[in-house]
Amino acid sequence: MVENRPFLTMLSHFVVLLGVVIIAFPVWMTFVASTHSQQTMLQSPIPVLPGPHLIENYKKVLTEGYGKVGSTPVMMTLTNSMIMALGVAIGKIAISIISAFAIVYFRFPGRMYFFWAIFVTLMLPVEVRIVPTYGVVASLGMLDSYSGLIIPLIASATATFLFRQFFLSVPDELTEAARVDGASPMRFFWDILLPMSRTSIAALFVIQFIYGWNQYLWPLLITTKESYYTVVMTVSRQANVVDSVPSWNLLMAMAMLAMLPPVLVVVFMQRQFVRGLVETEK
């Protein structure tokens, strides 16, 4: 602070607090709704303070699901989302760290072509080419499978660039020392490069876990069997089902469960999250 202006400091606190309250409000209301009975949630105005039905509601959605027709237990969709998010995050990191290693540490014909081929994938999000990508996955027989959910999403230029950038900053002396000691390239990768990349891997993991967990359109298209539904798509789907009597309490309990894992990851790995966010944009 350059100078002491108590009024301005007060104002700053006030504005930021107001911002925090506005931003948290939707989630507060979701939480409140998930702790009331179905009847309470049908009369406007709805309550703004939590009610007594928390455990009952969450137990119901976790084990039985929501609605009367075609209800999937949230336990199952949470498991699917976890498999998908972990698969996407680990898969992306694994394939991009080895391709970055190849591009940085070897000279071979066609190196730049590979580099540019990876670079262009940066440009087209899956939403843009959704129809033909669906066609390809269908013709490979990958609909309704975990591999169909995960593999098409793990080609990632950002991760490859992040590792490339990091490898370029690793001192050449380390490589020289390894070579003098007779280490093979893979030995160098496992024993020196990989342990040094820990922080980059952690940062990327947080970003990619959220990316995988929050996928919506892709699982919506390629899954028709309930046993592969993810939690995000079921929340949205149930919100749009025209039920005679909507169970807001259960729907909002589901929404809370869908938000919880990625939010916890961001809050508890905040440093890695911020780092990942800033570095993937370079």
Site residues for other proteins, 8-37, by CB under 8 A, read 8-9, 11-13, 15-16, 19-20, 23-27, 29-30, 33
Does position 273 bind other proteins by CB under 8 A?
A: yes
Q: Which is nearer to other proteins, 60 or 249 (CB)?
A: 249
* Of 255, 253, 211, 207, nearest in space to 235 by CA: 255
Does position 56 bind other proteins by CB under 8 A?
A: no
Query: Least CB distance from residue 128 to other proteins, whole Å?
Result: 5
The region that residue 110 occupies, defined by phi over 0 for left and psi between -120 and 50 for alpha, beta otherwise, is left
Does position 187 bind other proteins by CB under 8 A?
A: no
* Region near other proteins per CB under 8 A, out of 55-63, 66-74, 107-115, 195-203: 107-115
Site residues for other proteins, 194-253, by CB under 8 A, read 210, 213-217, 221, 232-233, 235-236, 239-240, 248, 251-252
Q: Which of 63, 70, 122, 227 binds other proteins (CB under 8 A)?
A: 122
Q: Exposed (0-12), middle (13-18) or buried (19+): which is 159, by Cβ within 10 Å?
A: buried
Q: Which is nearer to other proteins, 16 or 63 (CB)?
A: 16
| Token digits of residue 29 | 């209301």
Q: What are phi and psi of 67, to 5 degrees?
A: 80, 175
Rounded Cα gap, residues 148 and 224, in angstroms? 12
Q: Which is nearer to other proteins, 73 or 185 (CB)?
A: 185
Determine contact, residues 81/213, Cβ cutoff 8 Å: yes
Q: Which of 186, 191, 194, 227 binds other proteins (CB under 8 A)?
A: 186
Sign, CA dihedral 187-189-192-198, equals negative
What track of x and - describes contact with other proteins for positions 127 through 146 (by CB under 8 A)?
Answer: xxxxxxxxxxx--x------
Q: Which is nearer to other proteins, 60 or 92 (CB)?
A: 92
Rounded Cα gap, residues 255 and 89, in angstroms? 22
